[in-house]
Structure 1
């Protein structure tokens, strides 16, 4: 009835009620410990002073209370969960054997029957803890095959053994040490079974390793320091009540594991706990063996044990740690080279394949698939099973499953590495895109120059009747072609010389087609033109002359130039057939001219002249006035 009412309450209320109940029991046991030798007395003036209370009493009481509070907290949040129920029951068992363990230090007079009852509670609580923990590891994190008959065998086997030695003619309270030792072996077997059976599920394996490490460290330390020595006929290494504090390790570890808080970080922690706990246990067991089997005094035995652990166990532990758990982290240089190798692939498909290969080779996932939704930053999912990767390099968002070939979980450190990789890839992609744009611009420049300049030069040579003149023009064309390919930058040249050559060249091209040239130049004296300005001007006039020859049907071409120290203004007009401004489409030549002029910060306009076509261009130049 009480349990049913608790289930109907909110989690906070359940936790408050259970905590209050534990504190009431705690205060009741404190009151018992304070009672004087003369018998029960409610007056504080007759109680024993606190400094007279044996420290073992406080150790037992605090351990029992904390175990109760932690197990109550877990059960209050998951009251219908079988592992949480078993965990809460283990807290009750711990409270029972802790609160009943300090009878020898109580001054209150007790009958022999009362003492026997107290020891019976202690024995039942200690044995119940081992039974419950064995059953817990049969069902959590995975329910093992035949867990029900195995749980029944554990309950009736160890339970019957405990009842037989607690009550009746075979009563022997000292037998509890042997019972708990064998229960510990059963717990170890269940933990190993859980770890092996969950090998295909990294999340469950991490839970099993963490819980197993916590239990083996806590209960194992108590067995090694108290139960095992007593079972073997030796004295305990420390007072039993002090050794109870080891059980707090179990409850803290199990609480974390059962609530599944940040489990993707727990795998490596569990291994560290196991290694360090085994080092401590090896030290203790070796010390016991040296004292028991050889004629060493405790000081000598401890020294030899420390030497063994330092020179044999610890190096072996580090080797195992590196081989089993740790993955060699890639440094920034390695990552940068891998990213560059992927980002500089020639095609988008190859870059996408390179990015996937980079992720696979770094994380070794069992699965690499496209994510269901687009994400903007790395996300760890399913408590470390999956890691979602933002889209990059033409690849959609990806999802990695089961890190390190299924032997590990993804951690926040992995998410940070992904963020770093994405940033490197974005930087490499930006640099490659800029390089590709530069290559495209250079190709376009070469194509324009070939079309505008080389084509005009060849046409000029084609229509030349004089062989020697034709050869000279072909040589000039080859020189221009080398300049186009190499983007050669000649020295700044005098304006008069350049424009005179351009005028003569244009007139020579127009003459075979019966087209006259009218050349009008307005320029400040002493201006020198930079190669880029010369190139743009020459290309513009040459292409305009080519269009007039091929399309205009004109008899005259007017070229008007106005050159100032800061700007070049060009107007070219013919008296041909013209065109409709509203419907005309720019051919490759006109489009090249427009792109070239606008590319150097100028403006290009095509208009209908008084009789034919007219183009206007304005662009700056780099040459200062001398």
Structure 2
């Protein structure tokens, strides 16, 4: 426990110590800046007010302090990381040249030797910043080819140049701008090299793009406004002390890159940063051009600049954003059709293959493998290298590796897309299951109808001794077969007419086998039943008659029908040999009858009657309209 606490407290202690060092130096320089022109004084009443100090002093102080705090924070969290160490060293160098850059603005009288030493610190700090940054980008995010040799050449070359111009007979403090200009160019070259060398690794490329954007923006702005004009013999566009604030862009970008914060978003952030910065630069340059060449009023020039940027630059930026950063995403309609195509494959193996093909076509991963165990939610692993997809519809969980053919990282938006696809697949699976159940039920219905009705009709025709009657029965059987295939029952008929035909048909079937029929009916006059109800009790009576003929050895069959406006009751009993309820098993016909009745929400009972078998069925029905 104590070791764990020390591990947690160590970064905090380092951060406090480093921050305190920077703050003490900051307060010391503030104290120097507030001194009166007459000399040093410890009494605050003699100090200059904040309004009397030049704003450039505060710009330098704040830039140096923030650079030191940002870099020391990263180093405190990653003390053994060499890039973090170099980052912290660059922060100290920035602290040095920022804190020593406002010597011309302070009011304390100083000797010439003191001023020279201040300028020397400024020159050494500025050159050290460029050297350290160049070495940092030679090893991060990956170590470039011959990085050791290049690091030595950088340190020796720029270091020698700086020392010769800082001390001895070649002293020239104005040379610092030329030195930093070439150092900035070396930094830019290292960043571009990092970007090119990271083409095969999306993680390194994301960091390189982000670091490149932030570095090019910060260094480029300083070179364009201060270093390059002075190197070419012109005046700086803005005060050097103000231009130091551009370095904060580099420090924020490096801190995010070194901490690998939201690594999968760094690429898109970099492009946004470049787009927004270029918009600002375009607006400023256009405004300057309108004022300089057309002699427009500053207010008019600024308004025209905003208008031109809005109508020309922003559409171009959106076009480039879609072409460079955003991969083409399928629409909801496309995804829905792709999911349906995968979900309605006939077998589980084909559905799995279709689901994998869908993910492959959408994300273009280099690898797609199955994951052991269940995954509840999609997730990004290994800093955007892999994306886990939950299992769905009997398909195992999957892991996708290296998005967009290895050229991109998976981002949070991809988890949202996966969740959307999973929900679509679940809905499609539900629909497919309902479809399969419907197909199975329809097949079962056809099998029952053929067994119960067509079979009974053909048996009836088989035992008929009259050719004309047999032909008529076969024609009726063909009509019933068409009803079975089309699931279209006969038109709604009056109840008495339907039951009269069924009674005559049943008596005719039983007569050749010496079985008499006793038929009773209780029903209100004028009731008209829907076809499904008629088909159900017709099938019950036909199957019961068939069983009596084939199995019962009976002499009589009693059929009793009771029909109310909302319920049908059927009781069928024979006087045959009966059966043992304890050992009896339902055959295909009886099982079909039971399924029909229960499918309509009714009850089916098979019992031992007075001498033979007794069948009882009760089910609700709807009365057909007129």
Q: After TM superposition, is the score higher than 0.5?
A: yes
Report what 2:336 is aligned to: 336
Structure 1 residue 356, shift from structure 2 partner: 1.9
- The answer to whether residue 219 in structure 2 is matched with residue 219 in structure 1 is yes
Structure 1 residue 559, shift from structure 2 partner: 1.9
Instruction: Render the CA deviation track for 1:35-54: whole Å, top value 9, x for unaligned.
Output: 11111100111111211100
Q: Distance in 1 between matches of 2:287 and 2:392?
A: 59
Query: Structure 1 residues 624, 287: CA separation in 2 closer, same or farther (over 3 Å shift)?
Result: closer
Instruction: Render the CA deviation track for 1:104-143: whole Å, top value 9, x for unaligned.
Output: 0010011111111111111111111111111111221112
Q: Distance in 2 between matches of 1:378 and 1:7?
A: 32
Report what 2:141 is aligned to: 141
Deviates more, 1:564-573 or 1:271-280: 271-280
Q: Distance in 2 between matches of 1:166 and 1:286?
A: 40
Report what 1:236 is aligned to: 236
Report what 2:3 is aligned to: none
Unaligned 5+ segments in structure 2 are: 1-5
Report what 1:418 is aligned to: 418
Query: Structure 1 residues 528, 384: CA separation in 2 closer, same or farther (over 3 Å shift)?
Result: same
Instruction: Render the CA deviation track for 1:138-177: whole Å, top value 9, x for unaligned.
Output: 2211122332232222222211221121111111111111
Report what 1:522 is aligned to: 522
2:516–2:556 contact (8 Å) kept in structure 1: yes
- The answer to whether residue 606 in structure 2 is matched with residue 596 in structure 1 is no
Deviates more, 1:313-322 or 1:15-24: 313-322
Query: Structure 1 residues 287, 426: CA separation in 2 closer, same or farther (over 3 Å shift)?
Result: same
Note the aligned Cα RMSD (angstroms): 2.9
Deviates more, 1:8-17 or 1:359-368: 8-17
- The answer to whether residue 25 in structure 2 is matched with residue 21 in structure 1 is no
Q: Distance in 1 between matches of 2:429 and 2:198?
A: 41
Query: Structure 1 residues 163, 439: CA separation in 2 closer, same or farther (over 3 Å shift)?
Result: same
Report what 2:488 is aligned to: 488
2:492–2:624 contact (8 Å) kept in structure 1: no
2:571–2:615 contact (8 Å) kept in structure 1: yes
1:57–1:105 contact (8 Å) kept in structure 2: yes
Equivalent pairs, count: 617
Aligned partner of residue 107 in structure 2, secondary structure: coil
Deviates more, 1:393-402 or 1:337-346: 337-346
- The answer to whether residue 204 in structure 2 is matched with residue 204 in structure 1 is yes
Aligned partner of residue 421 in structure 2, secondary structure: helix
Report what 1:3 is aligned to: none
Query: Structure 1 residues 591, 308: CA separation in 2 closer, same or farther (over 3 Å shift)?
Result: closer
Q: Distance in 2 between matches of 1:308 and 1:156?
A: 48
Q: How does 1:602-621 map to 2 (within 5 A)?
A: 602-621=602-621
Q: Distance in 2 between matches of 1:164 and 1:123?
A: 11
Query: Structure 1 residues 386, 425: CA separation in 2 closer, same or farther (over 3 Å shift)?
Result: same
Query: Structure 1 residues 458, 70: CA separation in 2 closer, same or farther (over 3 Å shift)?
Result: same
1:225–1:284 contact (8 Å) kept in structure 2: no
2:581–2:607 contact (8 Å) kept in structure 1: yes
Query: Structure 1 residues 229, 297: CA separation in 2 closer, same or farther (over 3 Å shift)?
Result: farther
2:366–2:401 contact (8 Å) kept in structure 1: yes
Instruction: Render the CA deviation track for 1:369-426: whole Å, top value 9, x for unaligned.
Output: 2124321222122222221111124321111122222222111222112222222222
Q: Distance in 2 between matches of 1:7 and 1:509?
A: 95
Structure 1 residue 482, shift from structure 2 partner: 1.4
Q: How does 1:216-295 map to 2 (within 5 A)?
A: 216-277=216-277
Q: Distance in 1 between matches of 2:9 and 2:224?
A: 41
Q: How does 1:52-451 map to 2 (within 5 A)?
A: 52-277=52-277, 320-451=320-451
Q: Distance in 1 between matches of 2:83 and 2:347?
A: 54
Structure 1 residue 439, shift from structure 2 partner: 2.1
Report what 2:11 is aligned to: 11
Structure 1 residue 574, shift from structure 2 partner: 2.2
Q: Distance in 1 between matches of 2:598 and 2:416?
A: 45
Q: Distance in 1 between matches of 2:117 and 2:366?
A: 57
Structure 1 residue 284, shift from structure 2 partner: 8.2
Structure 1 residue 610, shift from structure 2 partner: 2.8
1:90–1:132 contact (8 Å) kept in structure 2: yes
Query: Structure 1 residues 469, 297: CA separation in 2 closer, same or farther (over 3 Å shift)?
Result: closer
Instruction: Render the CA deviation track for 1:459-513: whole Å, top value 9, x for unaligned.
Output: 1011100011011111111111111112224444322222221111111111122
The TM-score, its normalising length taken from structure 1, stands at 0.92
Unaligned 5+ segments in structure 1 are: 1-5
Q: Distance in 2 between matches of 1:169 and 1:272?
A: 48
Query: Structure 1 residues 309, 79: CA separation in 2 closer, same or farther (over 3 Å shift)?
Result: same
Report what 2:581 is aligned to: 581
